[in-house]
Amino acid sequence: MIACVLALVLLGGGGVGAYALLSSGGETVESVSGEQPGDTTPESERPVAKPASFKGEDLCAILPSDLLKRLVRNAQENPADDTSTMSSAESTCKWESGEQPQGKVEQKRDLEVVLTTYEKARDDFDAKQHYAIRQENTQAMPADPPEGFRFSEPRSVPGLGEASYAFTSTSTDSPTKSVDAEITFQLSGALVTVGYGGYDALPGLGAGYRKLSESQVMSSAQEAAKAISAALLKGEAPSDDGEVTRITAASRGRDVCEALSAEIVQKYVGKARTSARNTEYSDERWASCGWSSTFDPGGRSEVAYDMVDLRVNVATMDEGVAAARHEFRQRKKDATAVPAGVPQEQPAEKSRPIALTGIGEEAFAQLSTSDQIVNRREGSIVYRVGGQVVEVTFGGLSTVATTAGPDSGTTALSEEKVLTALKDIAKRLASRTTGK
């Protein structure tokens, strides 16, 4: 929902109104007409921040845990792949409410932070110019909203960044009547957008929904925005200093990312995008990290290129070793079984599971080959240590890439290449997995 509102704002509209003062949930929010108050501290005295060092998985880790628990119940985080253009780079993390007790009001909430930086900006396009364009488009929305939405007039948030504006949007034709707040502010040459909102689902079949207070949604969004601003102002994001970390029951997605050295990632994936996430379930918790290769022609018109993905998912069982053993055996059983009703022309051909020794306490591998659309081969190794079950997936294809992108001709990675990478990576990870 929040992403939809952002897209609608970027479409723009016509007309700019005059704005008055508004008090929202105890937070002072002022008109955006003319100059905005922002941070009046002289630039030379402001903390030195380096927003460009923050990636999606870093953004997921900067919000205080107590605030996140209060705003998004049983939050499931979902960092988007970091993206870049010729003028900017964008990192995103989004939290969505997870499983909640039955028979009670279910609080459906989303919280999203988008960080846009302009270190490689061209034609002097920077955060200030981007901010002005988006602010102008936002000011037109209340007078000419898209069908099914109502927008409040945008207001500035004093003390947040060098300049800021905020508004709320309400879905008028959906049963949930979802209410969302969005805050955009400039900070140390970057643009930060924070979105928060949702609705309450009442208990019972067909019981309906409860609309949230716009002032409370805005107040919560401001809490999140100020916490994120404070974290970004502390300095650079945690960097990979070459030290690998152990995988424990307390590990988060970014810890899983750091369990492999940069050298190993470079060896098997090359230059890569990294994303991490964490998911809570009723009886287990997942911490995951993924690496995807990115094309870098290095000034050459054509280059042989392996498009590969590496994913590591660590499942920690609340009930410990016994539950992990059961989970491992179930996965191996599922890998062996042939689903009923599968046509002969399957989208991917899977090998029977291969028992492995020397990786964790028990392990198996499986290969999968597809010739649908592209020729691609990947494999996975599932191993168990104590109360943790870890799945490592690696695979991809070889192609010839040009400055315009990958060529249409593809060759699946060889079985040897996939298995060699998988075994090496899994052995390294298993040696760092504590199982508790």
Per residue in 270-285, pLDDT tens?
988 887 777 878 899 9
The residue among 201, 233, 265 that closes a domain is: 233
The answer to whether residue 242 is domain-embedded is no
Could you tell me if 260 and 404 lie in one domain? yes
- Burial code (b: 16+ CB inside 10 Å, e: under 16) for 387-422 equals bbbbbbbbbbbbbebeeeeeeeebebbeeebbbebb
Q: Could you please report the per-residue DSSP string of 134-186?
A: HHHHHHHTTTSPPTTEEEPPPEE-TTSSSEEEEEEEEESSSTT--EEEEEEEE
Could you tell me if 225 and 371 lie in one domain? no
Could you tell me if 166 and 307 lie in one domain? no
Could you tell me if 201 and 271 lie in one domain? no
Could you tell me if 153 and 18 lie in one domain? yes
Could you tell me if 220 and 272 lie in one domain? no
Q: Which one, of 166, 222, 162, lies nearest residue 38 by Cα?
A: 162
Per residue in 321-380, pLDDT tens?
999 999 999 999 999 875 555 444 555 688 889 999 999 999 999 999 987 777 889 999
How many structural domains comprise the chain?
2
pLDDT of residue 404: 58
Mean pLDDT score of the chain: 81
Structural domain boundaries enclosing 156: 2-233
The residue among 233, 268, 302 that closes a domain is: 233
Could you tell me if 185 and 314 lie in one domain? no
The answer to whether residue 114 is domain-embedded is yes
Q: Which one, of 53, 13, 5, lies nearest residue 140 by Cα?
A: 13
Considering only residues 99 and 369, tell me which one the structure prediction assigns the higher pLDDT: 369
CB 49 within 8 A of CB 162: no
The answer to whether residue 239 is domain-embedded is no
Considering only residues 296 and 271, tell me which one the structure prediction assigns the higher pLDDT: 271
CA distance 6 to 271: 30
Could you tell me if 162 and 198 lie in one domain? yes
Q: Which two tokens stand for residue 416?
A: 């040897």
The answer to whether residue 17 is domain-embedded is yes
The answer to whether residue 436 is domain-embedded is no
